[in-house]
Amino acid sequence: MHTAARLLMRWRLAASALLVALLVAPAWQLGANADVPKFGETLPLAIKFFEAQMSGEVPAWSYATQTHEWAEHGAWRSNSHLQDGQPSYELKGGWYAGHIKNTQTIAASASVLAFAGLTWETTFKGEGLYLELLRNVDWAAQYIEKCSVTGNKFVAQVGDHFTEEAYWGGPERAPYSLVKYSSGWRPVYTIDLEAKCDGADVLSEAVAALAGAGLLHLKASSPDTARGNALIEKAKQLWAVTKDINAV
């Protein structure tokens, strides 16, 4: 199977697993048996998967940056690929799939998480997980905002599949180079928004993720109205371009 297909399948499986957990969660909550798993014990594990995939300046609230009793050497994640996009753009952040940052898979995952939070809002808040969900979705939204690098270009991917497969270490120690096809080469692939000839799949997912993140902010117990409205407005602007593109 092609590398790109494997990476996309990996993310879709993760998103599907989260949805399955969410769909069966209400039944778990209603179970009288003390041995039945609780929603509040299960969902955080799904969210922590995304925290382990963080690229850029990993925040202190990420589970992967904290020290745990079972982790012999402490936290296993720290800052990585801070040069992404240079010298033309600033593209730190986002989530990894391998060491690639594919905007479609990041946006698809973020939109699924946002959909879950909006659909089961009461449950998330009741379990004290709404903020944890919101900050993970917003982390993805911040990166997607950066992908609008200019008025006529949108970043679809950072990194090269062949170069990525040649390095098997952690992203924190990955080589970095601007030299084409060299070890550590991380090219930036963009969609030409003016041409309107392809990219509908990437852009549509980005619109959904931005809108979902904005709505999560507006529905929070302490809503960040400015941030929520800004994300929704960005989603509208991107959709105004996306709706006229008929190819992926």
Amino acid at 24: V
- What was the pLDDT predicted at 39? 62
Between the alpha carbon of residue 185 and those of residues 66, 89, 127, 140, 176, the distances in Å are 30, 15, 43, 23, 6
- What was the pLDDT predicted at 168? 86
pLDDT digits (tens, 9 = 90+) for 1-20: 344 444 444 454 455 455 54
Give the residues across from 54 on adjacent strands.
95
149 within some domain: yes
177 within some domain: no
| Overall domain count for the chain | 1
Closest CA to 89 of 153, 185, 181: 153
169 within some domain: no
Model pTM score = 0.84
Amino acid at 45: L
- What was the pLDDT predicted at 37? 55
- What was the pLDDT predicted at 77? 79
- What was the pLDDT predicted at 237? 94
50 within some domain: yes
Residues 209/111, Cβ–Cβ less than 8 Å = yes
Domain that holds residue 70: 3-158+190-242
Q: Which residues of the chain have pLDDT under 70?
A: 1-40, 66-75
174 within some domain: no
171 within some domain: no
167 within some domain: no
CATH (domain of 30): 1.50.10.10
- What was the pLDDT predicted at 130? 94
- What was the pLDDT predicted at 123? 86
101 within some domain: yes
pLDDT digits (tens, 9 = 90+) for 23-46: 445 444 444 455 555 666 777 888
- What was the pLDDT predicted at 23? 45
